[in-house]
Amino acid sequence: MRALGAAAGVLSAALLAAPLTAQSAPAKIDYAAERASIGRYQDSDQRLQDVGWQLAQGNAAFCRKVVPSIGLQLQDMASYGAPAIARAALGLSRDFAVQTAARGSPAALAGGFTRNREIARLGGLDPNTVPAGAAMDWQRLVTAHDHVDTVLSRQGSLAVSFADGSQAQAEPVPVCATRFELLGAGDTAVADGARVVIGIDFPAFAYDEPVFAGVVAHELAHNVLGHDAWLDRNGRTRKHVRRTEREADRLMPWLLANAGYDPAAAVTFMKQWGSRHDAGLLMWRKHDGWDERAEFIAGEVPMIADLMAREGRADWATHFRREIDPAGGLVAARKR
C-alpha cells in the first residue's frame, strides 16, 4: 500500500478533471450534473478528512512531529480541469471555498465552515489573489494550506472571512503532521512522509468507517514511523520494504485504538480487502500474504487492549516493537 518515489508528486491534489473538461458551448453544460459530480467527490473527501483527523489528533501525544491544526480543508477552482464551469456549478464568484471541516475538529465546532462557502480571506491573505495556472493548478491550494499552517503556528488562531462579509475564527489543537488528500481518480493509497494520498476508487471507501480507517491508519503509520526517509537512507530493497510494510500493518491497530476505533477493525480491513484484492498492485511480493498480514496485526491487539484498559491509551512510541532501526543510516547521511 505504498507507491514508490516519484509517483507521489504526480498524484498531487484533487484532479477532478473528467466531468469538467467539456469544451462545448456554455449552454450545453449540465451544471446540475457537474455539481452532483463535485458533491460525490466531496462526500468521499469528507469521509477521508473525518477519519484522518480522528487518527492524527488521537495519536498526537505519540507522534514525533506535530502541528497545530483546525481541521479545515479548502478547495480551489483552479485545481479543476475547467475552473469556470466548476465556479458556475457551485455558484461561486471567487476561486476559494470550504471543502470540508473534519468532524469534531475546531473548524467544525466553530460553525460557519460549511461546504462550498466562498472564502475572501485567510488571516491576512486573500488566496484568490495568488496567481494560478489556467487549469489543473494544484500548487495554489497547497500554498493556501501552507499559509493556514503558518498562521496557526505563529498566531495560535485563524480568522477566515467569507464572501458575505461574515467571519469565523478557530483555535488549533495539535495533530500528527500529515495531510490527507483525496485523488479524483485511481484506487491507490500512498504515503510520502508528509501526506497520505488515497484514490477515490480505493475499495475501502465502501467499508464500515472503522474498517476504512484501517487503510488510512496503515498509510499514516508509514509517515509517523518515518519510513520514506528511512528507505531513502537505507535503500528500497525488497527486504527493507517488506519490513516497513510489516511495521505499518502492525501499527494500524495502535493508531485505531487511540482514535477511538476498535483496534480489531485493522484485522477486519486486512481480511476484507486482502482476500479480494491480493492479486492487485498493492500486494506484490514486497508484502507478506494477506492472511499472514492479518495474523501479524491480530498479534498486536492483546497488548493494545491491555494498555487501553490500564492507561486509557496505547502508547506506541514506548511499547511498539520496531522491526527496523529508526536511526539506521543517519550517521552515514550526516557524513555525506
Which letter, b or e, does each residue of 273-290 get, where b requires 16 or more Cβ atoms within 10 Å of its Cβ? bbeebeeeebbeebbbeb
Q: Taking the CB of residue 244, how many other CB atoms lie within 10 A of it?
A: 23
Site for Zn ion contains 56 (CB under 5 A): no
If 0-12 CB within 10 Å is exposed, 13-18 middle and 19+ buried, where does residue 9 land? exposed
Q: What is the 3-state secondary structure (H, E, C) of 239-250?
A: HHHHHHHHHHHH
Give how many residues touch Zn ion by CB under 5 A.
4
How near is the Cβ of 104 to Zn ion at its closest, in Å? 26
- Residues 136 to 165: which contact Zn ion by CB under 5 A? none
The span from the CA of 80 to the CA of 198, in Å, is: 18
How near is the Cβ of 200 to Zn ion at its closest, in Å? 19
Measured from the CB atom, the residue of 1 and 92 that comes closer to Zn ion is 1
Measured from the CB atom, the residue of 281 and 332 that comes closer to Zn ion is 281
Measured from the CB atom, the residue of 115 and 243 that comes closer to Zn ion is 243
Return all residues near 60 (Cβ < 8 A) that are at least 6 apart: 66, 173, 174, 175, 176
Q: Look up residue 255 and give its three cell numbers.
A: 493508531
How near is the Cβ of 204 to Zn ion at its closest, in Å? 13
- Residues 244 to 303: which contact Zn ion by CB under 5 A? 245, 248
Measured from the CB atom, the residue of 101 and 248 that comes closer to Zn ion is 248
Measured from the CB atom, the residue of 103 and 240 that comes closer to Zn ion is 240
Site for Zn ion contains 2 (CB under 5 A): yes
Measured from the CB atom, the residue of 281 and 317 that comes closer to Zn ion is 281
- At residue 170's C-alpha, the angle toward residues 169 and 171, to 5°, is 135
Measured from the CB atom, the residue of 117 and 286 that comes closer to Zn ion is 286
The span from the CA of 62 to the CA of 295, in Å, is: 25
- Residues 212 to 251: which contact Zn ion by CB under 5 A? 245, 248
Measured from the CB atom, the residue of 117 and 287 that comes closer to Zn ion is 287
- At residue 6's C-alpha, the angle toward residues 227 and 145, to 5°, is 80
How near is the Cβ of 166 to Zn ion at its closest, in Å? 43
How near is the Cβ of 219 to Zn ion at its closest, in Å? 7
Q: Which amino acid is at 160?
A: V
Site for Zn ion contains 77 (CB under 5 A): no
How near is the Cβ of 249 to Zn ion at its closest, in Å? 8
How near is the Cβ of 261 to Zn ion at its closest, in Å? 19
Q: Which region, judged by CB under 5 A, interacts with Zn ion, from 1-9, 23-31, 158-166, 309-317?
A: 1-9
How near is the Cβ of 221 to Zn ion at its closest, in Å? 8
Measured from the CB atom, the residue of 63 and 248 that comes closer to Zn ion is 248
Interface residue with Zn ion, options 1, 55, 98, 216 (CB under 5 A) = 1
Q: Taking the CB of residue 96, how many other CB atoms lie within 10 A of it?
A: 26
Contact 128, 95 (CB under 8 A): yes
In whole angstroms, how far apart are CA 141 and each of 98, 102, 130, 148, 189? Answer: 12, 17, 10, 11, 21
Q: Taking the CB of residue 180, how many other CB atoms lie within 10 A of it?
A: 23
Contact code string over 94-123 relative to Zn ion, x by CB under 5 A: ------------------------------
How near is the Cβ of 5 to Zn ion at its closest, in Å? 14
Residues that bind Zn ion (CB under 5 A): 1-2, 245, 248
